[in-house]
Amino acid sequence: TLFLFFSFLGTGSSILSALQDLFWLSKSKVEKQLQIISVLQWVLTFLIMGVACTLILMYILCTDCWVIAALYLAWLVFDWNTPKKGGRRSQWVRNWAIWRYFRDYFPIRLVKTHNLLTTRNYIFGYHPHGIMGLGAFCNFSTEATGVGQKFPGIRPYLATLAGNFRMPILRDYLMSGGICPVNRDSIDYILSKNGSGNAIIIVVGGAAESLNCTPGKNSVTLKNRKGFVKLALRHGADLVPVYSFGENEVYKQVIFEEDSWGRWVQKKFQKHIGFAPCIFHGRGLFSSNTWGLLPYSKPITTVVGEPITIPKIDNPSQKEVDFYHSIYVDSLIKLFDKYKSKFGLPETEVLEVN
């Protein structure tokens, strides 16, 4: 049902025409409603699709249609390791019209600063995490902002929590967009057994960074995040700093103090489950003046910086990891400083590296 719904939305121009004829609405109003629908479905997917599909599958097992659920579970066992082997991307899904409406809601833009060689592999460090990583998803898991045209021959893989790929249906939906688990097995496979021209996008700050996301704040959790640099060295994959201006502006969050009970609960969740529960809100479905799950329509501009050439070292020392990590941090700060004024920040704004 979900895939039928999304493929229906994939025929965006015909829907727009039909809605105009039916409701006599202006084109701009119809487009705005389609943008809201496209973002809402993604937010609900992010928050509840995995749990909802698991519960539905368990329910079906208890009905006369149990054979359907049993067949899917058998397929799930057979297909269990596919996410660790590059997944199963679909250009059809990545090109759905729904993603263009998703892009235009904010809007989201992808800025290319340098060419990428198809003879190399890459690890993109994406900053900041934001609440949901909206820019990361739109730019690298869909073709809405033209990543395939801007970086021809490069296959982007957005890395996310491995736990998502244990959820029925959700795992297949994520893989169709080129999303992979952010674990060593998956990354090793893509960078060593999948040829060249691969780009793994890692949201380096992860759950810890999401706890500090708030409008007006530009900070990244990076000082002690060096695992991605070690992976790059082991595979000789070039590092590419990526900064998404506006990612922190689309939701408002309650920030707990470091020693508060709220932060303690968040850190416990982060440690044992892999994500940190945030208390946040956006705008309402029918009005931007009410609270709700929809993000605010603030522009997000993702800038892909200059690649840092990384040598292949099978067993890099800590000194070598620290050296290339410091180069990466400097490159990210320079990228931020170069483009901050172009995207609405004052020249005095400083990127906080934690």
Q: How confident is the model at residue 12 (pLDDT cuts 50, 70, 90)?
A: low
Residues composing the chain: 354
Domain residue ranges of the chain, discontinuous segments joined by +: 27-353
Supply the pLDDT for residue 278.
Answer: 78
23-36 per-position pLDDT tens digit: 556 778 889 999 99
Alpha-carbon separation of residue 175 from 36, 130, 147, 171, 266 (angstroms):
24, 22, 17, 6, 28
Alpha-carbon separation of residue 32 from 96, 166, 176, 283, 288 (angstroms):
17, 34, 26, 14, 13
246-280 per-position pLDDT tens digit: 999 999 988 777 778 777 777 777 776 666 777 78
Count CB-CB contacts under 10 A for residue 189.
Answer: 17
The dihedral over CA atoms of 15, 17, 22, 26, expressed in degrees to the nearest 10, equals 110
Supply the pLDDT for residue 6.
Answer: 47
Supply the pLDDT for residue 120.
Answer: 97
Mean pLDDT across the chain:
90
Reply yes or no on whether the pLDDT at 4 is more than 60: no
Structure-block tokens of residue 94: 């990545």
Supply the pLDDT for residue 11.
Answer: 52
Supply the pLDDT for residue 169.
Answer: 93
Supply the pLDDT for residue 174.
Answer: 96
The answer to whether residues 192 and 148 touch, using CB atoms and an 8 Å cutoff, is no
Q: How confident is the model at residue 20 (pLDDT cuts 50, 70, 90)?
A: low
Supply the pLDDT for residue 5.
Answer: 46
* Residue 308 DSSP code: B
Strand pairing partners for 280?
253
Cα separation, 285 vs 66, in Å, equals: 36
Q: How does DSSP assign 321-333, residue by residue?
A: HHHHHHHHHHHHH
Q: What are phi and psi of 89, to 5 degrees?
A: -75, 155
Structure-block tokens of residue 78: 């057979």
Lowest mean pLDDT among 45-49, 172-176, 297-301, 302-306: 45-49
Q: How confident is the model at residue 353 (pLDDT cuts 50, 70, 90)?
A: very high
State the Cα angle at 240 between 176 and 276, rounded to 5°.
Answer: 60
pTM comes to: 0.88
Lowest mean pLDDT among 186-190, 274-278, 315-319: 274-278
94-103 per-position pLDDT tens digit: 999 999 999 9
The answer to whether residues 176 and 140 touch, using CB atoms and an 8 Å cutoff, is no
**324 conformational bin, left if phi > 0, alpha if psi -120 to 50, beta if neither:** alpha
